[in-house]
Amino acid sequence: MEVSYEARATRIQHETSRRRTFAIISHPDAGKTTLTEKLLLYTGALHLAGAVRARKNQRAVTSDWMAVERERGISITSTVLQFEYGDYLLNLLDTPGHEDFSEDTYRTLMAVDSAIMVLDGAKGIEPQTKKLFDVCRMRTTPILTFINKMDRPALEPLALLDEIESSLKIKAVPMNWPIGDGPSFVGVYDLVNKQVLRFERTAHGQEKSAIIKSELPDPTLENLLGEVAYEQLCEDVELLSIAGASFDLDGYRNGELTPVFFGSALSNFGIEPFLSALVDFAPPPQPRFSDNQQIQPTSPDFSGFIFKMQANMDPKHRDRVAFLRVCSGRFHKGMAVRSVSSPRETTLDRAYRVFGQERETIEEAFPGDVVGIVNPGLFSIGDTLYTSSPVRFDAVPTFQPEHFAILHNRDVAKYKQFYKGLEQLEEEGAIQVFFPVENIRREPILAAVGVLQFDVVCSRLETEYNVQASIESLAFVHARRISADAETISQIQWPSTGTMRVHDRAGQQIALFASNWTLKYTQERNPGVSFREFGLITTTD
Ligand code: G4P
């Protein structure tokens, strides 16, 4: 049956406006997995909740190379959970939850429209929270904050808000206030609707908690808390209503403020109000820039970009899956697309919803959705796919590497497999690869955001390409791209030790520095040379 242009446009508009695509950022152990499970419990997607925990517990491991994941008890790969809540459709892009993380984590954050920041109430801002927050800030991604574990002794609520403001430089606006703390935590006071929300504990928090609503003054609550704690709550609430910052939707959406919710994911306290705020406040898929022009998600023309690539996810298939975030129009299985790097039309007839190793064929998708497409080797990270006039979204960034190592090939006879494997892993964005300018052995130098990537590379070279490789760490801490003509580069005055000159596959020269001092020295001695940080580069850069 022929569908009219208007009917198609209305459908795209409707499907776009009901989607919320987000990620959860946190330091390990703050409660990301538990909160994810509870979001699934409250939205009725229980069948997914078990799988989330199983993944964390590493029971659901099927692929060989994921042995690294299993051994370290961590999750390296990302997955996408899709579930409904009322009329809304939520896409939760999972990011690895270990202290050590890779460029994948960063790139996944490029594909969301908002983020949830989970803090442990006893710990406040921890190093990884800050790192991930900074990535969100690059794109002014709106952030909702959930302060978790309030059922345990926690820091003072005001101190937690102060810490968010001072360490992240963002206004923190409390939306509710904890009632009681530690074992006496009974619920939250909703500062917007001026309501007491008391939650009933359920066995192990496996079922939803009933909410008892009331207003202040509340003699039952006073009895429950005791006079001192009750008076304190009344005082806090009064003070916040006079002096507290108020929530403003534009401020949140522009990344200027973060609404803060207190609760306990484990005991289901505060999940429901938080979920409502998520669908009410978090933005639907947003327009994206392509060559300085805004592409509206509701445009009838399909476009999307590839933010992640993963080879050999399933040993039975031994193929490569490209993770595509739909940005505009409607995606449907079998559609013919083009990309800037591959202007020839390609038919996408193998499209999946990706959850870990599980794949489920999908027929269609809309802006905000993530589609796993089996990549016939044509696409790379950062590619924009389109059906109509060419679109090229602002690039997916290459992040500043912080760790460096020489990769030794232990089996010289297998040099072909070694280089082929390395090239594929580089293409996939698992690692950055440089080559020394002066060293005749020219062994590749790996550069990564997190050291774990080095183990992943060795393990994958072994299981997927049958090559034994080993790592020799290098003591460099900074990498800078050198911009100057060849003559000037040859005359650079380097400090006597603590630097190394390398180049990437495209021939771009890069300097590695062993300390802040060597970097500063070199910059000061060579004012005519630019030592650029890594950052946004396009695939054609
Ligand atoms: P993560 O994904 O951020 O790494 O954290 P995860 O949810 O796995 O939570 C880490 C630990 O904190 C878990 O305990 C979890 O049960 C606990 N936790 C999460 N939310 C709350 C909360 O609101 N209150 C309290 N008291 N604890 C919470 P575990 O002992 O490491 O694991 P498990 O044996 O409970 O699975």
Query: Residue 482 C-alpha to ligand 1 middle, in angstroms?
Result: 45
Per-residue pLDDT at 74: 38
Confidence check: pLDDT of 67 > 70: no
Return the residue whose CA atom lies nearest to atom 31 of ligand 1.
29
Which range has highest mean pLDDT (9-23, 81-95, 304-318, 437-451)? Answer: 9-23
DSSP readout, 256-306? Answer: SEEEEEE-BTTTTBTHHHHHHHHHHHS--SPPEEETTEEEPTT-SS-EEEE
Per-residue pLDDT at 21: 98
Per-residue pLDDT at 422: 93
Query: Residue 150 C-alpha to ligand 1 middle, in angstroms?
Result: 12
Per-residue pLDDT at 73: 39
Q: Which of 252, 354, 346, 347 is nearest to 307 (CA)?
A: 354
Query: Residue 440 C-alpha to ligand 1 middle, in angstroms?
Result: 51
Residue 538 to residue 396: CA distance in whole angstroms = 7
Return the residue whose CA atom lies nearest to atom 17 of ligand 1.
31
Query: Residue 85 C-alpha to ligand 1 middle, in angstroms?
Result: 24
Instruction: State the chain's mean pLDDT as an integer.
Output: 86
- Two tokens at 444? 């590749």
Q: Specify the ligand 1 atom closest to the Cα of 269.
A: 23
User: What residues does 171 pair with on adjacent strands?
Assistant: 257
Instruction: Please name the helix (run of DSSP H) or strand (run of DSSP E) that holds residue 248, with its range, or none.
Output: none
Per-residue pLDDT at 534: 80
Per-residue pLDDT at 541: 29
Residue 538 to residue 541: CA distance in whole angstroms = 5
User: Which residues contact ligand 1 via a Cβ below 6 A?
Assistant: 26, 28-34, 56, 97, 148-149, 151-152, 264-266
Residue 70 or residue 328, greater confidence: 328
Confidence check: pLDDT of 48 > 50: yes
Q: How confident is the model at residue 273 (pLDDT cuts 50, 70, 90)?
A: very high
pLDDT 10s digits, 302-311: 999 998 877 6
Q: Specify the ligand 1 atom closest to the Cα of 36.
A: 7
pLDDT 10s digits, 204-250: 667 888 899 999 999 999 998 889 889 999 999 999 988 777 899 99
Distances (CA, A) of 540 to 306, 392, 396, 456, 537: 15, 11, 12, 27, 8
pLDDT 10s digits, 424-443: 888 777 789 999 987 656 79
Query: Residue 158 C-alpha to ligand 1 middle, in angstroms?
Result: 23
Return the residue whose CA atom lies nearest to atom 26 of ligand 1.
149
Q: How confident is the model at residue 1 (pLDDT cuts 50, 70, 90)?
A: low
Residue 170 to residue 316: CA distance in whole angstroms = 47
Residue 525 or residue 49, greater confidence: 525
Per-residue pLDDT at 537: 36
Backbone phi, psi, residue 238, to 5° = -70, -45
Per-residue pLDDT at 174: 97
Query: Residue 148 C-alpha to ligand 1 middle, in angstroms?
Result: 10
Residue 69 to residue 40: CA distance in whole angstroms = 24
Per-residue pLDDT at 535: 66
Return the residue whose CA atom lies nearest to atom 29 of ligand 1.
29
Residue 191 to residue 528: CA distance in whole angstroms = 57
Per-residue pLDDT at 113: 97
- Cβ atoms < 10 Å from Cβ of 299: 19
Residue of 24, 25, 26, 29 with the most ligand 1 atoms within 8 Å of its CB, for mutation: 29
Q: What is the value of pTM for the model shown? A: 0.85
Residue 365 to residue 208: CA distance in whole angstroms = 31
User: What residues does 474 pair with on adjacent strands?
Assistant: 404
Per-residue pLDDT at 523: 96
- For 32-51, b where at least 16 C-beta lie within 10 A, e where not — what string? bbbbbbbbbbbbebeebbeb
Return the residue whose CA atom lies nearest to atom 24 of ligand 1.
149
Q: Specify the ligand 1 atom closest to the Cα of 148.
A: 23
Residue 486 or residue 271, greater confidence: 271
Q: How confident is the model at residue 172 (pLDDT cuts 50, 70, 90)?
A: very high
In the chain, the amino acid numbered 475 is: A
pLDDT 10s digits, 98-110: 555 567 778 889 9
Pairing of strands 384-386, 335-339: antiparallel
Which range has highest mean pLDDT (171-175, 207-211, 345-349, 424-428)? Answer: 171-175
